Amino acid sequence: MPSVSSASKFGRLVPKGVYAPLITPFNADQSVNIDTFKRHVQYIASAGVGIVALGSMGESVHLTHSERNKVVVAAREALDADPSLKDVPLVVGTGACSTYETIQLTQEAAERGADFAMVIAPGYFAGALNPKALKQFFVDVAEASPIPIIVYNYPGASAGLDINSDLMTEIAAASANIAGCKLTCGSVGKLTRLTYLRDDFAVLGGFVDFLGPSLLAGAAGGITGTANVAPKTCLKLYKDTMAALSGDGSVSLASAQQLQGVVSRADWVLQKVGISGTKYALEQVKGYGGVPRRPLLPFDEADGKGQKLLEDLQEILAIEKKL
């Protein structure tokens, strides 16, 4: 299959920094709330954080094919509506169970204004997907895509499929259109082994609780669900850590480490409550967020659990409020 040249305005280089995998808001009847989604896109992008639509936090697997396309259109429109946001990168999750539909979704996302596609391993037939099959899946998608591909390694959402550093190296070498990877496996060792794989290959951690160590190892940044609730603080952690590592004297390493501690504690709080808890927290902080699409149930706020969640987030929310 012939290679397809990249149509992204960023070329094949994934911009460094922090990205938020956005929640997808739903109406009371469980339909997608496009207006609220656009509002959230602008809120996150205005904080200087990159946009990831239709990731795991965005419940992409709960959306129909046509709904996913509508969300991409909405994200692009929200960014284009504000001239100051036109250069904010838009990453779209396009993974599906088959190579065929993944290619369709990727090409359609590109047509609708996505800059990069983030593709997770298809886990339904995980037992049949040996390293050769996994490599072929990503190469087929990348070679058919008009925009660069970010390989999304998340064993928890792909029936335990975990792409090790050897296989990721093979996948990246097989197509120049594979621009990076997101590691939601939490392996700092794997991240470290991959950061200098290729000059134009961006390695992004999937949790902000190890952003500092990731940047020390040469990572391009991180994609974190916590940025839905505290985008400015997550970006400050990135900037402060990079400044401290540069040794320019503007930020001390101790200060960056202290902020990493605050962010790590908040990230763990939200990891434990997942999508429903993150949406609940956003509802309390911003007045929207709502509930997940069934079969996921709303966050159980009874018996003080809602109040406890907000109390556990006060440390990071206090910093966010000042920024």
Question: Which residue in 19, 43, 152, 238 is the catalytic one?
Answer: 152
SS3 content of the chain, % helix, strand, coil (to 5): 50, 10, 35
Question: Which residue in 19, 43, 135, 182 is the catalytic one?
Answer: 182
Q: What is the DSSP letter of 249?
A: S
Residues in the chain, total: 323
Q: What is the DSSP letter of 14?
A: P
Q: What is the DSSP letter of 82?
A: S
- Does 232 participate in catalysis according to the annotation? no
Q: Where are the alpha helices (DSSP H) in 127-187?
A: 131-144, 165-174
Q: What CA–CA distances, in Å, run from 16 to 97, 179, 203, 226, 300?
A: 29, 12, 9, 18, 36
Residue 181, strand partner residues: 151, 203
- Does 152 participate in catalysis according to the annotation? yes
**Is residue 7 exposed (0-12), middle (13-18) or buried (19+ Cβ within 10 Å)?**
middle
Query: Annotation-wise, does 223 bind a ligand?
Result: yes
Q: Which two tokens stand for residue 286?
A: 């911003």
Residue 229 near residue 273, CB atoms below 8 Å: no
Nearest by Cα to 67 from 100, 119, 27, 9: 27
Residue 51 near residue 20, CB atoms below 8 Å: yes
Q: What is the DSSP letter of 179?
A: E
What residues act catalytically? 152, 182
Binding residues for pyruvate: 223
Binding residues: 223
